[in-house]
Amino acid sequence: MNALLMNGNSNPADPRFDAYLQSLAQVLTAQGHGVNTLELRSMDLRQCSGCFGCWLKTPGVCATQDQHGQLLRAYLDADVIVLASPLVLGFSSGLLKRAADKLIPILLPYIDASSGECRHFLRYSKAPRLAVLYQDEPDTVDEDRAITREIWSRMARNANTSLVACLSTTITTTEVAHAIACA
């Protein structure tokens, strides 16, 4: 299995989260899995401008000159995507969300309603599974965890795939690796 760890920690002053992800990468590697980590805060990923150029002008390619190509290639290379970030204001970071917005070129503009609800058809035949990894804030409550899970599972549905896990860094990296790899 190839895992892509999308590190959406926007606060380099807090080393805990990055250290946790590093340890997770080591565990996965030791188990024989491929691991690619993208540190989103060091990448040049501009906000999606909402122009739909990636659907209607240069299909599959974002109009912005930034590192979206690296992100899309890494996404399509992986079997599992780990959407990782500390919770900020009760949800994944804005940095991680900015990167998620840049994934819409993997979809076609055309709408598929065969499941009884609208979503887009996929541009590629491959749809990696999604997992969410978060670090609690001091005031995190179950409601925040439930909302985070609910939003990302909707996003997984829209990306024609499934959310296989939504886990907190309070469990060990071995347990996280197991949950991701066995799903």
Binding site residues, another protein, CB under 8 A = 10, 47-52, 55-61, 69, 72-73, 76-77, 88-91, 93-95, 97-101, 103-104, 108-113, 116-119, 123-124, 126, 139, 143-144, 147, 150-151, 154-155, 158
Of residues 161, 131, 147, the one with CA closest to residue 24: 131
Rounded to whole angstroms, the Cα distance separating 126 from 50 reads 24
Name the minimum Å distance from CB 91 to another protein: 6
C-alpha 160/C-alpha 182 separation (Å) is 20
The first and second tokens of residue 24, run together, are: 């997770």
Nearer to ligand FMN (CB atom), residue 93 or residue 169:
93
Residue ranges in 41-60 that form contacts with ligand FMN under rule CB under 6 A: 48, 50
Query: Which of 31/47 has CB closer to ligand FMN?
Result: 47
DSSP classification of residue 108 = E
Where do we find the tokens 């501009």?
Answer: 46
Nearer to another protein among residue 36 and residue 90 (C-beta): 90
